[in-house]
Chains A and B, each alone.
Chain A
């Protein structure tokens, strides 16, 4: 996925960056145990699956067979997914173990 948008005059005003490179700019101290777990069997019956578009870290990925693949590792811990999730029991959401998870840069 690229973020570059071609302007009317055909120019690119910044170089496109892949989502992977975007997330490479963020430090995550990943703990071995997941702080969010998703019961993807519940997601299969969810008609809206709003988590896919709102998650700023793009952690909810739809699969061809109508399921969802979720990975907790590069998570901002923002909470958007559980706020929009409207399927009872689909998400279990906790903060990561102390000292782990996202670490924004200091100078």
Chain B
């Protein structure tokens, strides 16, 4: 293999958070890198249901908070359990998350992803938009050495290709690294961005200035296993549902109808009253964590971000952009190492796996490997929210002249009434403790 024929040290496919961080880190290391995006601008194909946790950017962009396109800083975090008529919330707020160095932000992905790709470009990466990568190019020994695109004479060559091409990653599939098409491992996210005046959002959600709220919801999804979310932007709110694809497929309510059900819930409806639809959007989510992840490294090829199924869907923690950014950055570090060694085979690129394993990227996923299945299980989805809500309702209901019954008695009665078996409860508690404990 000759290096003179390579136009680039690395080709990054997909200018999402993984791709842009990979390109940024490589460009900062002085490598010749091209970042290819199929949309007309980075972020144009991307949506999500939530929050960016940018801590990992500390090591890539000095004081990133100065110009990151933030809608609101999340200073209030609510986890809400919904039954048809009840809502049980755990609500936390802190002023600390509204100050430097911040914790999480709501942002529109077309703004955020575009900003991040621009950072890569400023650092020296070549950013090429409106170009769809159509396949991998391999050399005579089978190592990946470039990509084909839908541009005329659009073949590009490089020492390494990084597939950051998202949840459907056709590159990882083509390379035989990613074989999962099991519908129970995916969720469909569908979201409405609703316009509301800033003052109305501030008042209804109890925030000021750039403070924002993230509400994660269990239940309220029309009986389809999944969850809901509601979070504040500056003068819009994002509300939507995340639905287990295999379950969605097995019933008759459409995604937008399930959003309507959530919006009509008595605990949600007053928050969004009078809002108008600004944009509807949808995206697939790799939800099963470690059990669906592909092989991350092949000769001349790395896989990062959603393409490597790195979304963390663990109930109380719903993250993804941070995992994508970190994996992109670690891919870049491994490539720099491999280039220095002159070995871009899977062996030479093994530093990528080492970094994923030694940081939160795979440590969190390993610790939480039971969580996605647990969170999407029928008991956690339907029985436990009802149990908790019923117990709360009876705890706080004043039944005078009857005396207060006591928590243990209420719990035992409600458990029996809902048919929750002790055996299952103990098993789920054990799984929950192993994951979250």
Binding site for B on A (CB under 8 A): 3-5, 7, 13-14, 17, 19, 21-23, 25-26, 29, 48, 50, 53-54, 56-58, 76-80, 82-84, 94-99, 101-107
Contact = CB atoms under 8 A, between A and B. Distances in A.
A3 B260 contact: yes
B275 A22 contact: no
Interface in B44-93: 44-47, 69
A95 B43 contact: no
A78 B181 CA distance: 13
A7 B265 CA distance: 9
Contacts of B249: 48, 50, 53-54, 84
A49 to B, nearest CB: 9
A21 B282 CA distance: 16
B43 A13 contact: no
Interface in B250-283: 250-257, 259-261, 263-264, 266, 269-270, 272-275, 277-283
Given A56-B254, A79-B168, A104-B281, 10 more contacts: A7-B266, A14-B263, A14-B273, A25-B279, A56-B188, A83-B284, A102-B44, A102-B45, A105-B108, A107-B111
Contact of B132 (A4, A48, A96, A104): A96
Interface in B176-210: 181, 183, 186, 188, 190
20 contacts: A7-B269, A19-B256, A22-B280, A25-B280, A26-B281, A29-B40, A56-B188, A56-B256, A76-B283, A78-B283, A80-B245, A94-B170, A99-B39, A103-B44, A103-B45, A104-B43, A104-B45, A104-B109, A106-B43, A106-B110
A26 B260 CA distance: 18
A98 B264 CA distance: 39
B248 interface: yes
A57 B261 contact: no
A26 B283 CA distance: 13
A13 to B, nearest CB: 4
Nearest to B268: A13
